[in-house]
């Protein structure tokens, strides 16, 4: 059992079977795609479902939905059009042995770059002040956004990656 301090300064105990804890002992919440993913794992939209039990002590419903909504807006703006995605990517992909998948991939690569920038902004504006970190995780046909919780006063991540120092210097 661990004690974690939330954004309001109150301490909460995280037990072994808490919804934020996975098998490796990391504390996190996963925001999953709402539709099919591209080959690189990126999806055109992600779920805005708010889990009160898992996130209630760390972030309110409105900022959470606003953050995921901003990610979905960026994806909507940069996602390839239907003709490019299905026509060139799927139908012609069979005839060209996958070569035509390059066309939708160009748009999706641009969307991925914009998502990286948006995640950095969201961490600085919404998540870091609350002791959280939003992180994209994706590989072949699978992806999600992880919300990780920092531990105690040191703001030490319970996972492998660290928050960029410039984002947390403002908030300490």
Q: What is the pLDDT of residues 59-84, one digit of tens each?
A: 899 999 999 999 999 999 998 888 87
The structural domain count of the chain equals: 1
pTM over 0.95: no
- pLDDT of 7 reads 44
The residue among 154 and 54 whose pLDDT is bigger is 54
Q: Which residues pair with 150 in a beta bridge?
A: 157
Q: Using CA atoms, how far apart are residues 163 and 120, in angstroms rounded to an integer? A: 10
Residue 153 structural domain: 2-169
Going by their DSSP bridges, the two strands 11-14 and 28-31 should be labelled as unpaired
B/e letters for 27-56, b = 16+ CB within 10 Å, e = fewer, are bbbebebeeebbeebbbbbbbbebeeebbe
| Mean pLDDT value across residues 117-121 | 94
């Amino acid at each position: 059992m661990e004690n974690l301090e939330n954004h309001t300064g109150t301490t909460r105990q995280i037990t072994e079977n808490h919804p934020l804890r996975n098998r490796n002992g990391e504390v996190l919440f996963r925001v999953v795609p709402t539709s099919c993913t591209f080959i690189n794992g990126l999806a055109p939209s992600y779920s805005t479902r708010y889990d009160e039990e898992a996130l209630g002590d760390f972030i309110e419903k409105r900022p959470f939905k606003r953050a995921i909504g901003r990610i979905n807006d960026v994806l909507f703006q940069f996602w390839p059009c239907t003709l490019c995605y299905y026509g060139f990517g799927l139908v012609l992909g069979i005839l060209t042995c996958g070569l035509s998948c390059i066309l939708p991939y160009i748009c999706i690569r641009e969307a991925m770059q914009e998502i990286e920038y948006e995640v950095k902004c969201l961490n600085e504006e919404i998540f870091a002040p609350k002791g959280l970190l939003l992180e994209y995780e994706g590989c072949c046909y699978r992806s999600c956004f992880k919300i990780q919780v920092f531990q105690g006063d040191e703001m030490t991540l319970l996972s492998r990656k660290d928050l960029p120092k410039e984002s947390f210097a403002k908030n300490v």
